[in-house]
Chain A
């Protein structure tokens, strides 16, 4: 069966450290993978997109990697801050999929002082 798996347990890290979140998928062949941030009571907000032929993408303190052989994406936040505390969702876009996003369950990140 098709699955997108993210760590269901919350990730707690200290301010200034690098947070690394994992997204694993099975039985999908995504053309693109996106990461979103969701704060409590709000809709998801787009952060980064990476294509199937790209290995890595960066934006300010954010970095995403995409390994289609391992079927895994890693999302890194460097020099983390308490304001980075939120739930982070990965989403796949399939080729010929009508631009539909299929989401993982999300990982809650808490950055402590």
Chain B
């Protein structure tokens, strides 16, 4: 049972480059999330989705885009990378509404130079 899988694990980008962080879950969860975590800080919500075809902004969406064409996949796109986007990115998923626990991926460590 894979759970939530993120790729890549590490990436170095140059300023202005773009990339897509991949996230896939095999638990048939409707809810999926992207968070970023900076050193000594908690997780900040970037975008979330309550089902295929539905996405919404979180706390820090600027500079990012998402899509949700299937239940399983929730990619995060960085169009013009900036040093401020250097962070660790976590994807998570959870079941229906209510008190469901979130399952997290292993994270993608991104450095923009």
Binding site for B on A (CB under 8 A): 4, 6, 8, 31-32, 34, 41-46, 49, 51, 89, 91, 93, 98-106
Contacts and interface: CB of A to CB of B under 8 A. Distances in A.
Given A49-B101, A102-B45, 19 more contacts: A8-B40, A31-B99, A32-B98, A34-B102, A42-B106, A43-B92, A44-B90, A44-B102, A46-B101, A91-B102, A98-B31, A98-B56, A99-B31, A100-B33, A100-B58, A101-B43, A102-B59, A103-B42, A103-B44
Contacts of B48: 98, 100
Nearest to A42: B106
Contact of A99 (B50, B103, B107): B50
Given A99-B50, A99-B98, A42 B107 contact: yes
Contacts of A41: 107
A49 B42 contact: no
